[in-house]
Amino acid sequence: MSESLVLRVKRLVSGSVNGLVDALETANAEVVMREAIREIERAIDDVREELGHVIATRHQTVRHIDRAKTKLSELGDRAKIAVEQGRDDLAEAALSRQMDLEAEIPTHEARLGELFAKQSELGGYISALEGRKRQMEADITSFVAARESAADAAGTVGGVANDAERRADKAHAAFERAMNGPVGASPAAKADRDTMAKLHELDRLSRSSQVADRLAGLKRRMQQAG
């Protein structure tokens, strides 16, 4: 969810106490308050749309993981066939691709965890907004009842404002706790170009050695099985 939408949700959930008090003191107070509720409803729709994207991405990530695991098995079978045909070059290609997939799967699984967390976070935003909407609807009901009772209108309006302020403070505190979750560790500083080039060459040599070891291990297992 974009930062602007997060700030918008935070503003709507916490509410503006001063703005509410000002609205109660105007002739069209009910109109102002109902427009505030409509703004909350629009925010709920926007968060739900974002939630839909997250859920779709989560399902897509699950499919990526399933396909990668299936491909791992297929590549193992193909590597065996290549060895049987005396095509070590093809077996090495299959084993190399296996290594790529084994590296990709944990990344997808980590992404899946992030998406589950995001889904829960967005669900919490929706619940908070809906709670704020119910509070404001209750405030409107109280305001209208107070306005219709001329005898104690002033006292009742003041009570509504004070009650709204207490509710807004409580919602704001709860939202702050939700917003101030654990922050991920900062990324490591980038190495200079020469060091990166050397590390890349080291990775290439290490990868070639790993592929050769895998091929040798595959041949040993096939000989033992035969």
**pLDDT tens per residue across span 91-122:** 999 999 999 999 999 999 999 999 999 999 99
Span 152-161, mean pLDDT? 49
pLDDT for the residue 207: 73
The ranges assigned to domains in the chain are 3-189
**pLDDT tens per residue across span 193-219:** 666 666 667 667 777 788 888 888 888
Per-position DSSP letters for the chain, written without gaps between them: --HHHHHHHHHHHH--HHHHHHHHTSTTHHHHHHHHHHHHHHHHHHHHHHHHHHHHHHHHHHHHHHHHHHHHHHHHHHHHHHHHTT-HHHHHHHHHHHHHHHHHHHHHHHHHHHHHHHHHHHHHHHHHHHHHHHHHHHHHHHHHHHHH-STTHHHHHHHHHHHHHHHHHHHHHHHHHHHS-PPPPPPPPPPPHHHHHHHHHHHHHHHHHHHHHHHHHHHHHHHHH-
